[in-house]
Structure 1
Amino acid sequence: MTRLGRIFLGLLFACAAVTAQAQTYPSRPIRLIVSIAAGSVTDVIVRKATMELSPQLGQPIIIENRGTASGIIAAQACASAKPDGYTLCVLHHDAMSYNPLHFANLPYDPATDFVPVTRLYFINEGLFVSSALGVKSVADLKAMAQAKPGSLNFATLGDGSFPDLFLRWLNNQWGTQIVGIPYAGGGPAAQAVAANQVQMTRFGIGNFLGLVRAGNVKAIAVSSDQRSPLLPDVPTFDESGLKGYPGKGWWGLLAPKGTPADVVAKLNSTFVKLFSDPKFVQYLESQAVVSAPTTPAEFAAFLVEDRKAAESLVKVANTKRKEYKPQ
């Protein structure tokens, strides 16, 4: 056999192996890293999704929660994993768009270390305060924060996180000194607000509905363009005088760089089918999120645009880049 023939035969075997892998994938459990604490609304949604998806894939999906550090720990773990389709990650705007603007020497590169699989959904958020604070509106909160500098605390996901960025923007807009306190996710943050350990925060509405209905937390504004049917008496940010904040929260599914294209395509079709199913979309709406699945190419293009929006927001918030120090 000639050298050219051997090369052609080798390529043929390689293509056959890739095709066989895609046909048999997955053949063992899949590890899914989620960059938020257990009990947070995204964790609840992802667990619901995996219950639906595991039978379709024929293998269990094992969730590994890695909250804290603005998603950096989860993103690093995912980026450094073997790119064989058996480690995936659910990451958000902080990890993929904002962290590079806030931190030098990140242990991962959001632009090159991942393969986008699909965007999953956008988040409807609210501004929440502890009922013990006695605040009934954004105007009340602004007056209190201005009258008592440094006396109010705000739950975030750490320096540079989306809630922290909103807090910096708010302090700049109001001329206040509200203090950020980091938590591992929306669930822990919600409990902290309910206990008045921190007085306020901005997170996904789904984290707070039970506490609002129980009277432990008060919602004073929502981030959507229209009032939320889950909180119909709560005004929008625009109605409350909080116009101009350009950020929008989202979550998506990614895999380590080098994950085979056929595997990515199979994962995309499986997740998109579920996140487009009317019953599951209705469930997502009950969790105050908006289903928004995409193709891998569409998600990749969205990430480019989201990073541009992040740059604009960081300028408005007047934040400074600092060295990332592992916890």
Structure 2
Amino acid sequence: MTALLRRRVLAASLALPVLALPGVLHAQGESWPTKPIRLVVPFAAGGGADLVARAISGPLAKRLGQPIIVDNRAGGGGTTGADAVAKAPADGYTLLYTTPGPQITNPYLMAKLPYDPVADLIPVARVAVVPNVLVVNKDLPVKSVKELIQYARAHPGKLNFASAGIGSSSHLAGELFKARAGIDIVHVPYRGTGPALQDLLAGNVSMAIDSIAVYRALIESGALKALGVATPERSPVLPNVPAVAEELAGFDGAPVNYISVRSGTPRAVIERLNREVNAVLDSAEVRSSLQASGVVPKGSTPQEMAAQVKSEAAKWKHVIQLSGARVE
């Protein structure tokens, strides 16, 4: 064998593993999973995130061919559950179903987290957007977002807004509205949506921005007035209610729900999981179920979700710094 021929044979043998790599990775993704999967929801059972997680877990389990066990790990504004996933094996068998808290807002609300939200967790797929709606007490003399802003400017410090607690979606959406509108309104935190809703109905607080699912029936009955949905476009659930963005361009105060895994999880597993999540979200049954409760199913690629986490973190960091909000 000549020297030239030996070099060609060697080069070809070195290239073989590289050429085979895509096929190997695809095989890894298709062979996963081989045992049950744990879907950690870092909030209490019965909440909005938990309900959406359970709505997709059954269909997703069927597509993957393995049971999915929903594991509610509430505590620390979502950090307890997120930490469990960040410290689990990076094998795709422990997933995090999350809202903005663990990776997007908690880093700016809390002095210290038990995990690195960027280095320890990788976004896999967006699942849904949960639209919020701006509602006011029925006796407040305003009929639109524009009138509310005008009223607040004419009565600085007199209006207040309720939230489910410091750092909650309803709190940060209210702070975003306050900042974008340039108004002076007072935040009143409660221990959950229930107590906030009761005081809003009683007129003890003026307004709130929270889930359409929570307020829809009260809006339709006339118990509360809806002034605007907190998504860039109108919601099909409340088609006659304008978007806040029609008055405040680009306003978006709706939390995103998505799935993350521990860093180091094989890329093939992430891609397989992403494909199956998107397939579930495209099914008519799941879409109909989620939309009926005011949730907008909305998938993504892993790259799109990672970019959204980055952009949302920048947005909410600014809002949190303006508000001075801290969670002890």
Once the 2 structures are TM-superposed, how far is the Cα of residue 212 of structure 1 from its aligned partner?
3.3
TM-score normalized by the length of structure 2: 0.75
Given candidates 118, 132, 155, the residue that maps to 2:163 is 155
CA offset at residue 261 of structure 1? 2.4
Q: Distance in 2 between matches of 1:116 and 1:176?
A: 35
How big is each residue's C-alpha offset from its partner over 1:157-192, in whole Å with a ceiling of 9 and x where there is no partner?
x33333222333445532222312242xx6x47865
In structure 2, give the amino acid aligned to 1:320.
G
Cα deviation, 1:10-37, whole Å, max 9, x if unaligned, reads x9xxx99988865543333222122344
Residue pair 1:32, 1:61 contacting (<8 A) in 2 also:
yes
Change (3 A) 1:107 1:51: same
Following the alignment from structure 2 to structure 1, what is the Cα–Cα distance between the partners of residues 276 and 166?
35
Asked if the contact 2:190–2:196 (Cα under 8 Å) also holds between the matched residues in 1, the reply is no
Is residue 35 of structure 1 aligned with residue 39 of structure 2?
no
Deviation at 1:47? 1.4
For the 8 Å contact 1:159–1:182, the answer to whether it is kept is no
Distance 1:153 1:69 in 2: 23
Aligned to 1:320: 324
Q: CA deviation at 1:90?
A: 1.2
Point out the more displaced range, 23-32 or 139-148: 139-148
The 3 A distance-change label for structure 1 pair 27 and 161 is: same
Amino acid paired to 2:108: L
Q: Does 1:291 align with 2:328?
A: no
Change (3 A) 1:68 1:212: farther
1:208 aligns with 2:212: no
CA RMSD of aligned residues (A): 3.8
**Does the aligned pair in 2 maintain the 1:145–1:178 contact within 8 Å?**
no
1:107 alignment partner, one of 111, 114, 117 = 114
Query: Secondary structure of the residue that 2:46 maps to in structure 1?
Result: coil
Alpha-carbon separation, structure 1, partners of 2:203 and 2:140: 15
Inter-partner Cα distance in structure 2 for 1:227 and 1:304: 25
Instruction: Tell which structure's C-alpha radius of gyration is larger.
Output: 2
1:178 aligned partner: 187
The structural deviation recorded for 1:146 is 7.6
Q: How many residues align?
A: 304
Judged with a 3 Å threshold, the aligned counterparts in structure 2 of structure 1 residues 220 and 68 are, in CA distance, closer, same or farther, namely farther
Task: Please say if 1:273 is aligned against 2:279.
Answer: yes
When structure 1 is superposed on structure 2, of 278-287 and 298-307 the one drifting more is 278-287
Same amino acid, percent of matched pairs:
28
Displaced runs of 4+ in structure 1, greater than 6 A? 15-21
Amino acid at match of 1:265: E
The 10-residue stretch of structure 1 (221-230 or 51-60) with the greater mean CA deviation from structure 2: 221-230
Structure 1 residue aligned with 2:11:
none
- Aligned-pair CA distance for 1:153: 5.4
